[in-house]
Amino acid sequence: MFGTTKSVLAAAGLLLGSHLPSALADNPIIQTLYTTDPAPVVYNDTLWLFTGHDETGASNYDMRDWRLYSTTDMVNWRDWGSPMSLKTFSWAKADAWAAQVIEQDGKFYYYATVTKNSGGYAVAIGVSDTIEGPYTDALGKELLSNGGIDPTVFRDENDGNKVYMYWGHNSPAYHIVLNDDMISYEGSIAQENLQNFVEGPWLHKRGDKWYLTYSSFGNGNEDIKYATSTSPAGPWTFAGQIMASQGNSFTNHAGIIDYKNGSYFFYHNGALPGGGTYSRSVCVEEFEYNADGSIPLLKMTSEGAAQIEPLNPYQRVEAETIAFSSGLTTAAAGDGGIYVTSISQGDYIKVKGVDFGADGAASVDVSVAAAQGASGTIELRVGSQDGTVIASCEVASTGGATTWETVNCPVTGATDQQDLFFTFQGGDYNFDWWQFNKAE
Ligand SMILES: *[C@@H]1O[C@H](CO)[C@@H](O)[C@H](O)[C@H]1NC(C)=O
Ligand SMILES: *[C@@H]1O[C@H](CO)[C@@H](O)[C@H](O)[C@H]1NC(C)=O
C-alpha cells in the first residue's frame, strides 16, 4: 500500500505543482490500531475525533473501548488514548460501538452504544469535566428503554439550544429531545422513515438545512446516504448517496463537520494492512457543498485532506502526533500520558508540513526511555523515510521503560517546510515528545 500511496502522491505532484504533495494527507488517518465510527467535534479551535476501536486479530466485531485523537491542521493527529471503555459502565459487557460527544455548560457528554450484562443493545452516557476524559457513567443505566444503537447528538441553536438525539438499527430511525440535564428526555420517542436506513445516523446543520446522514444497504457493503429537512425534527426528504459501497469493510459510518473554513467527511474502511470488516480504519475526505446545499458524491482516497497550516517544531510536540506511521503503537503511562512504544528496527513516524523557518534548526531534544539492554538510534529525516538525515539521536538505557530522559542532538539541513520522519534503528525503547531549537 505504500507503493500505491507514493505513486498517487507523485501523480498529484505532476498535476498540481511540486510543492503540493507534502500538503496531501494519508488515509487511513490512524495506523497504530484499528479505528471505527468517527465522531468529530470542534472545541477550543481544535478538531477532536472520537472513534471506536476494533481489537487487532478479531474474527468478529470485538470492541472494548473508545479512542480519541485531535488535530489543528487536518493531517497530523495527536493520540489521546482511551477516554472511555466498557469498564466505565458496570452494567455493560460488550460492543463498544458508535458514539458521539457533545459539550453542555462546561461538561462533556458521551453517548455510546453498548450491550447490557442482561443482553440487548443500549445507549450509555459518559460524562467528564474535560473533553479528553476520563469519562464516568452519568446515569448508571441505559438512557432508553427500547434499546437502540448509534446515537448522534446535535444542539439546535435556533430552537432554544435543544439537543436532539437520533439512533437506530435495521428499522426506522428514532429521535428524542434531551432535557438540559442531558441524561433524560422530554416527550415521547419519534419515528423517522428514511429510505434504506440501516444504522449510523449523523445529524448536522448548514445554512437553513438540516442533514441526516446514515449507513444504508448499498451494493454489497454499506453505502452512505442522506436526507434533508427544514427542521431537526424532520420530516426528512431523501437527498441521495454521498459514498457508494467501496472498500473491503461491510460497514461504513459517516461523521461530517466544518473546521477552519473546510468541510470534512469522515468514514471508515478496511484499508490498513490486515484490514477488513472486523479491522476497520477511519479516513477523511475534504469536500465542498454544491451551490444548492447538496453534498457531492465522494470517493474513498488514500490522500485524504490537505494540510491547513504548518506544524511548529519549536514547541513541545507529543511523539504520538502522527500523519502516518509504520510498525509502532502507543500506550498510556500510569499518569495517563501517552507515548510511542513497540518500536522495532525500520519503524517510522511521519509528521507532515513541519516549518523549520528560513534560519532552520540547530538541535532537537527528544524524550526517550529504555529498559536495561534496550538501545538504538532515532534518525530524523526530511522528505521521506529514506530522505536526508538531519539528526541522529542515540538512545541508551535510562534504567526503565518509562524512566524518561531528554537527549539533545545537533541538527543540520533542516530549513523551511518539510515532511519530518522519525526512523527508528534498534528498538524496545519508548518515545514521549520532541522539540527543535532554532539556529541563532
Ligand atoms: C485550549 O487549547 C489550548 C492550546 O492547546 C490549551 O492550552 C488550553 O488548555 C485549552 N483549553 C481548554 C479549556 O481545553
Ligand atoms: C477563513 O476564511 C476567512 C474569510 O475568507 C478568512 O479571513 C480566514 O483567514 C480563513 N481562515 C482559515 C483558518 O483559513
Q: What would the pLDDT profile of 339-348 be if each residue is shown by its tens digit?
A: 999 999 999 9
Alpha helices in 242-384 (DSSP H): none
**pLDDT number for residue 280:** 98
The Cα-based distances of 47 to 39, 56, 73, 103, 351 in angstroms read 10, 26, 9, 13, 17
Distance 313 CA to ligand 2 centre (A): 23
**In whole angstroms, what is the distance from residue 360 CA to residue 355 CA?**
9
Nearest CA to ligand 2 atom 3: 261
Helix (H), strand (E) at residue 229: strand 223-229
Q: Does the structure show a pLDDT above 50 at 3?
A: no
Pocket of ligand 2 (CB under 6 A): 260-261
User: Which atom of ligand 2 is found nearest the CA of 309?
Assistant: 13
User: Which atom of ligand 2 is found nearest the CA of 262?
Assistant: 14
Q: Does the structure show a pLDDT above 60 at 176?
A: yes
Distance 43 CA to ligand 2 centre (A): 18
**pLDDT number for residue 44:** 97
Give, for ligand 2, the residue of 261, 263, 288, 308 to mutate: max count of ligand atoms closer than 8 Å to Cβ: 261
The predicted-structure confidence for 399-421, as pLDDT tens digits, reads as follows 999 999 999 999 999 999 999 99
Tell the residue number behind the cell numbers 509528521, with chain if given: 351
Instruction: pLDDT band for 147, please (50, 70, 90 cuts).
Output: confident
Distance 261 CA to ligand 2 centre (A): 6
**pLDDT number for residue 23:** 34
The ligand with the least distance to the CA atom of 130 is 1
Our answer to whether residue 199 is catalytic in this structure is yes
**pLDDT number for residue 336:** 82
State the cell numbers at 129: 469535566
Q: What average pLDDT is seen over the chain?
A: 92
Instruction: pLDDT band for 4, please (50, 70, 90 cuts).
Output: very low
**pLDDT number for residue 379:** 98
User: Which atom of ligand 2 is found nearest the CA of 260?
Assistant: 13
Instruction: pLDDT band for 146, please (50, 70, 90 cuts).
Output: confident
The predicted-structure confidence for 216-244, as pLDDT tens digits, reads as follows 998 899 999 999 999 999 999 999 999 99
**Bigger pLDDT: 217 vs 265:** 265
Residue range(s) occupied by CATH 2.60.120.260 in the chain: 317-438
**In whole angstroms, what is the distance from residue 208 CA to residue 122 CA?**
32
Max CA separation in the chain (angstroms): 67
**In whole angstroms, what is the distance from residue 221 CA to residue 284 CA?**
18
Find out whether 112 and 143 touch, Cβ atoms under 8 Å: no
The Cα-based distances of 422 to 21, 137, 408 in angstroms read 19, 39, 15
Distance 310 CA to ligand 2 centre (A): 15
**Bigger pLDDT: 236 vs 160:** 236
Tell the residue number behind the cell numbers 468517527, with chain if given: 38
Our answer to whether residue 365 is catalytic in this structure is no
**pLDDT number for residue 39:** 98
pTM to 2 decimal places: 0.93
Which homologous superfamily is 28-287 in? Glycosyl hydrolase domain; family 43 (2.115.10.20)
The predicted-structure confidence for 312-346, as pLDDT tens digits, reads as follows 999 999 999 999 999 999 999 988 899 999 999 99
Distance 155 CA to ligand 1 centre (A): 22
**pLDDT number for residue 8:** 27
State the cell numbers at 232: 431537526
The ligand with the least distance to the CA atom of 44 is 1
Q: Among residues 186, 99, 184, 195, which one has the least CA distance to residue 150? A: 99
The ligand with the least distance to the CA atom of 128 is 1
Task: Classify strands 185-192 and 107-116 as parallel, antiparallel or unpaired.
Answer: unpaired
Could you give the count of Cα atoms lying within 13 Å of 123 in the half-sphere of its Cβ? 29
Strand, coil or helix: 27: coil
Instruction: pLDDT band for 206, please (50, 70, 90 cuts).
Output: very high
Partners of 173 in the beta sheet?
192
DSSP conformational letter for 42: E
Q: Among residues 266, 273, 199, 397, which one has the least CA distance to residue 3? A: 273
Task: Please identify which of the residues 199, 222, 223, 432 carries the catalytic annotation.
Answer: 199
Residue range(s) occupied by CATH 2.115.10.20 in the chain: 28-287
- Please give the average per-residue pLDDT across 59-85, as a whole number: 98
Helix (H), strand (E) at residue 321: strand 321-322
State which CATH number among 3.40.50.720, 1.10.3720.10, 3.30.559.30, 2.60.120.260 fits the domain covering 317-438: 2.60.120.260
Cis peptide upstream of residue 201 (ω within 30 degrees of 0): no
Q: Is 57 left (phi over 0), alpha (psi -120 to 50) or beta?
A: left
**pLDDT number for residue 108:** 98
Nearest CA to ligand 2 atom 12: 260
Nearest CA to ligand 2 atom 13: 260
**In whole angstroms, what is the distance from residue 126 CA to residue 108 CA?**
8
Q: What residues contact residue 308 under an 8 Å CB cut-off, 6+ apart? A: 72, 73, 74, 259, 260, 262
User: Which atom of ligand 2 is found nearest the CA of 261?
Assistant: 1
Distance 109 CA to ligand 1 centre (A): 18
Distance 277 CA to ligand 1 centre (A): 36
The ligand with the least distance to the CA atom of 46 is 1
**In whole angstroms, what is the distance from residue 49 CA to residue 99 CA?**
11
**Bigger pLDDT: 293 vs 157:** 293
What DSSP string describes 327-373? S-EEEE-TTS-EEEE---TT-EEEEEEEE--SS-EEEEEEEEEEEEE
- Please give the average per-residue pLDDT across 157-170, as a whole number: 91
The predicted-structure confidence for 281-297, as pLDDT tens digits, reads as follows 999 999 999 999 999 99
The predicted-structure confidence for 11-61, as pLDDT tens digits, reads as follows 222 222 223 333 344 899 999 999 999 999 999 999 999 999 999 999 999
**In whole angstroms, what is the distance from residue 5 CA to residue 28 CA?**
11
